[in-house]
Amino acid sequence: MVSLRWTPSSPTLAPKPISRTFSQKRNLSFLVIGLFVLSFLLLSLNPNVQQNSLEHLDRLKEWSSDKAQSLAEGWSDDTMIGGTLKGWLADADANEHPKEKKECRGWNHTLSEDNDPPNCLKARQYRQTMRVLDREDKAEHDHWYFTLIHNRETLRNISMCFLPVSDPDWRLCHEKPLILSGWWYTAEVITGATTGEVIWQSSITKQLKMLGYSFIAVGPYLNWVEVAEMMPDVYHLIWNSDLDTVTCITDPRCIAKAHYVPPEDGEDLSVGVPDEERGVIPIWALGIVDYWGARPREMSNNKYWWGLTEDGPWSYHPLGQEWIATPWPLPGGHYHLPYSIEDYCLKMPIKSHEERENAALILAKRSSYFHYPHVSPPEFWTNLSQVPDFELLSTVEVEEGKPLPEGLVTMGKQSRENYTELVGSVKALVGMGAPPISPSIYTSLCQATPVVIPHFQEKYRMDGWWLYSSGYELKENCRHVSWSQHGPAIALGEPWVYKYYAHNYTDLETAVRKAMSTSIERYIPEDMKLTYTLSQLSKYLQRDLKLMFQDVRDNNAGKIPRLKKGARERCYELNRCKKPLEAGRIPNIPPVFPSKD
């Protein structure tokens, strides 16, 4: 049996004190309607104006959409797209003065907590929020330094949701308006990082705000566990990585006592744990946000990472893939939580084909990518850089011991704004094999720049999971790789995306030439448009997770499903799972005051 003893493996983070604040603006709907009414009047009043304006109407619509998104980022949390929040109000006409629910009437947040009405939910929520805020203010706990300002501001804002409705600072909110995220990439939204995961989360957190929800970033592991314990009545759900989730659900001091079950054929770690030390976090509240999803063994490296011994579907959340949200419409039960690129890419004007540089830009972040065994050999890129007809550009970060192919030069790492502008100034974006399923593909298409993508085997599959396959491993002395760098992009086909076989130079150069000679219109996939992404997120947030959990249990003979055999042990063997909570630790739950009745 593999020992569950943990050894530290987390990197030390250099300080990077960056924070963002979010303004609040209202009357978005009236502004957007006004813009379109104004455009209509301009077109109809004067024939000359009409003639000169028709060709610019689409640009006006794009500008209006972008402006709407920009303002929507500042929507206050008491406004919700597609409906009205009721929060703590008793049922009443919209024109009536807000009424407090019966169980909260007479509540006064300025008095001591033992005076709170015992059945007033928002009184408990207020106290729980203020305790976590006090903890953030003191900053004595283990935390990610760059999240403090954001968290403090968010907690102060949502505390107003729980005030008496007679208070001038009271605001209307969802009953549980907060997402707790222990996922690193949600936190990185605050720093403005540009990885694929952060671009996804950046869009999702903006949409959360538009729908009236807020988030706090409360990693690392022990931090989010404690916050979840401290404010059980406030959070709507918890977001985490696969690793943190597996750590918690297999630790009897983290997961709620009623929800702990050992993995298949795994050691029962709850034996001997006193009741007062047992965890309190419900398993159904633990949601996983993951860029890749729970990929089956046959087309991933999960035999190595998770110790999978069988092909076919599986989940690192025992309740099923429905608890895993991804940016892609993956097979199985994964929840498709797409990101919108409209708000960002529409800000950039489109250059005509004639205005663009006669150049192609290589899609690659690091020089080590060119040394991967499954991508095109370095000499392909050397040869391509020497083609006299066009220039080959790159923004690669050169790593020690991993030189660029001879002939390639780099402009170095770019900001997101500069990179987007660069992509829109060339005639093609050329994938070299890594990173897989990069969002840069969609940035390029939105800038009307064709894309070139490799496939790694001459006969490749595009069905089911193979569309999203990625990675590399050796199996019985045979190379086993993903089928392509970006299956969903290849599926779009020409004229947007051109493909080449990674081990055929002629194929590569031909694809680049075809892409560079083609002029395309701006392209945004339907599932990356704001209307669709908002609808998906709204449905996701409206799910009754507790009821879903009960259905899963009922369909499993009344028992909570167990984690896949060997997954926990492999996670600890590789030092990927976090240190289990210490013996003697008592959960940091809110105090309970006896009723005065």
DSSP character string of 453-479: EEESSSS---SGGGGG---EEEETTEE
What is the reported pLDDT for 481? 53
pLDDT in tens, the chain (597 residues): 344 433 333 333 333 333 333 333 434 444 444 544 444 444 444 444 333 333 332 333 333 334 334 434 433 333 344 344 444 444 445 556 678 899 999 999 999 999 999 999 999 999 999 999 999 999 999 999 999 999 999 999 999 999 999 999 999 999 999 999 999 999 999 999 989 999 999 999 999 999 999 999 999 999 999 999 999 999 999 999 999 999 999 999 999 999 999 999 999 999 999 999 999 999 999 999 999 999 998 888 888 999 999 999 999 999 999 999 999 999 999 999 999 988 888 888 999 999 999 999 999 999 999 999 889 999 999 999 999 999 999 999 999 999 999 999 999 999 888 999 999 999 999 999 999 999 999 999 999 999 999 999 888 788 888 888 765 554 443 344 568 899 999 999 999 999 999 999 999 999 999 999 999 999 999 999 999 999 999 999 999 999 999 999 999 999 999 999 999 999 999 999 999 999 999 999 998 765 555
- The dihedrals phi and psi of 355, each to the nearest 5 degrees, come to -80, -15
What is the reported pLDDT for 554? 98
What is the reported pLDDT for 75? 37
- CB neighbours of residue 224 within 10 Å: 24
What is the reported pLDDT for 185? 97
Rounded Cα distance between 69 and 241, Å, is 28
pTM above 0.85, yes or no: no
What is the reported pLDDT for 38? 45
Is residue 539 within 8 Å of residue 461, measured between CB atoms? no
What is the reported pLDDT for 397? 94
Rounded Cα distance between 25 and 16, Å, is 29
What is the reported pLDDT for 472? 53
The first and second tokens of residue 408, run together, are 């390639």
Alpha helices in 13-108 (DSSP H): 28-45, 47-53, 57-72
Strands 286-289 and 235-240: parallel
Q: Which helix (H) or strand (E) holds 571?
A: helix 567-573
Q: Which amino acid, residue 20?
A: R
Q: Which of 3, 187, 1 is nearest to 573 (CA)?
A: 3
Three-state DSSP class for residue 499: strand
- CB neighbours of residue 403 within 10 Å: 13
Is residue 231 within 8 Å of residue 128, measured between CB atoms? yes
Rounded Cα distance between 107 and 99, Å, is 13
What is the reported pLDDT for 536? 98
What is the reported pLDDT for 594? 57
Q: Where are the domains of the chain?
A: 28-72, 348-525
pLDDT digits (tens, 9 = 90+) for 282-316: 999 999 999 999 999 888 888 899 999 999 999 99
Three-state DSSP class for residue 126: helix
* DSSP 8-state code for residue 319: T
Rounded Cα distance between 488 and 467, Å, is 6
The correct answer on CATH 3.40.50.2000 for the domain covering 348-525 is yes
Rounded Cα distance between 453 and 444, Å, is 12
Cβ-proximal residues to 91 (8 Å cutoff; 6+ apart), any chain: none
